[in-house]
Amino acid sequence: MHPRIPSPAILRQTPSKLPEAVEAALACAREHEDLGAYLTLLEERAREQAAQVVARVNAGERLPLAGYLVAVKDNIAIKDVPLTCGSKILDHHPSVFTATAVERLERAGAVIIGKTNLDEFAMGSSTENSALKQTLHPRDISRVPGGSSGGSAVALAIGSCHAALGSETGGSVRQPAAFCGVCGLKPTYGRISRYGLVAFGSSLDQIAPFASTCEELYPVLCAMSGADPRDATSASAPVPSSQKLTEPDRKLRIGVLRDYLEHESLAPDIASASRDAIERLRSDGHELIDLHLPVLSYSIPVYYIVATAEASSNLARFDGVRYGFRHPEADELSQVYDLSRGGGFGPEVRRRIMMGTYVLSAGYYDAYYNTALKVRRVIADALLDALSRVDVILTPTTPSTAFKIGEKVDDPVAMYLSDVFTVPANLAGVPALSVPWSDDSNGLPIGLQLIGKSFEEEFLLRSGMILERLRPTT
């Protein structure tokens, strides 16, 4: 691996080294080009931003993200930069505006290094569904990095940035974070503006950050958080404001989801790592409380009804008429729709559009979509009730470590079950964090998940620091 670029703390102390750090980050990205993390490197833009940040700091401006180099998933808009969503239907399509989250990062002093690869329209758990390139695991190129934000996780893991943005609909940041051995935070729904995030499932979608540690995640979260008049779903809840992230000043009540520790798909190495974490937390003085929430077993079917229904509606705009790919052989209006969407969308996106259209269709709406909404409410209520009795909930992040490329491509259900432990937090809208814990017998990272209370991301990250302190050193 390429030597890690200087930390944000070092670059804040010596801002004159920021341009040099940008060159090192770009060199790292190019050196590991074969891993397929980036779709677009913003070389000149990054150099100009670095020079501007140095000038702003020298002029006395206080920039909380001065020294941060950030990669951005390519379903998040940056003006005049391609916004492909990993799809042929938007290949080479430039954005005409910048997402609020990116604007806020840049205003705080961050430098954007490039746009990263993803499963097409963020629909996948392995980044194998990108129409543009394959992204490989940073430790084992025969394996997937997770998805759909696999490119962002790999960009961070190879040391080409300090933080990266992904998007979360059902685990698309936490799952690749666990696979690649980095931290990934899904904020509370509404905490970060979705303006500029290409919609997949609007009641679930969120922009979500990666970083190497909880401490480095925190200022990125703070910079992006807050209400946005351009996003009616953004929340006006107070933005976290502590100057420095520290562990909680008391012992925690930690809920343990026994349903997940006994799940039939849980790999033995991850089960062992989870038990080890529980014992280390107990020895550290924390109270571990068993939770039994059988209703969470319905999370995957509920998610794949709600998410695909919303995807069917959101992706209707990609019709070959207004922008994006238009099939060259389409002469009539019906052909424009049929050939452009059939040729522009990949098989997984087409599958989800058809599933979503089906559950919304006459005769099936009540049986599937309306019922799923009711069960979603039951799942959310159960999770919120459990959180009212504990400080945080501990689970594995994923049932397995990174699997082989092609291993689950022909089995959509097996692929969907990669998110079995992450989806409930999305359905309930609560924050959740994946923290690296240890490695399995193949040397692949294992992540543990903490689920927290709405708008308590600061406390969740502080709790994550406990796991970072207690994790095995070898």
Residue in the block written with tokens 């069960």: 375
Q: What is residue 223's predicted lDDT score, i.e. its pLDDT? A: 97
> What residues does 60 pair with on adjacent strands?
none
In the sheet that holds 163-168, the strands lie side by side as 38-41, 111-116, 69-73, 163-168, 206-211, 183-186, 432-439, 445-451, 392-396, 253-257, 287-291
pTM of this prediction? 0.96
Residue in the block written with tokens 């945080």: 392
What's the token pair of residue 330? 């389409």
> Prior bond to 148 cis, omega within 30?
yes
| Residue numbers in the chain where pLDDT is lower than 50 | 1-2
Which one is catalytic: 125, 130, 152, 172?
A: 172
- The burial of 7, by beta-carbon neighbours within 10 Å (0-12 exposed, 13-18 middle, 19 or more buried), is given as middle
> What residues does 188 pair with on adjacent strands?
none
Q: Which of 170, 178, 173, 192 shows the shortest CA–CA distance to 71?
A: 173
Helix, strand or coil, per DSSP, at residue 170: coil
Distance CA 256, CA 259 (A): 9
Q: What is residue 157's predicted lDDT score, i.e. its pLDDT? A: 98
DSSP label at 317?
Answer: G
What's the token pair of residue 143? 């394996």
Q: Which of 467, 396, 459 shows the shortest CA–CA distance to 218?
A: 459
Query: Average pLDDT, whole number, for the chain?
Result: 95
Vertex 181 angle, CA 179 and 185, to 5°: 85
What's the token pair of residue 296? 């969470």
Q: What is residue 2's predicted lDDT score, i.e. its pLDDT? A: 44
Q: State yes or no: is 17 an active-site residue.
A: no
Which one is catalytic: 125, 148, 193, 212?
A: 148
Q: What is residue 364's predicted lDDT score, i.e. its pLDDT? A: 93
Q: What is residue 98's predicted lDDT score, i.e. its pLDDT? A: 98
Q: What is residue 45's predicted lDDT score, i.e. its pLDDT? A: 98
- 114: which residues sit within 8 A by CB, 6+ positions away? 29, 38, 39, 40, 41, 42, 46, 71, 72, 155
Q: What is residue 1's predicted lDDT score, i.e. its pLDDT? A: 39
Is residue 155 within 8 Å of residue 209, measured between CB atoms? Answer: no
Q: What is residue 3's predicted lDDT score, i.e. its pLDDT? A: 52
Residue 386, CA distances (Å) to 258, 373, 390, 393, 455 in order: 13, 20, 7, 8, 16
Radius of gyration, alpha carbons of the chain: 21
Q: State yes or no: is 148 an active-site residue.
A: yes
- 377: which residues sit within 8 A by CB, 6+ positions away? none
Q: Which amino acid is at 204?
A: L
Pairing between β-strand 183-186 and β-strand 206-211 as defined by DSSP bridges: antiparallel
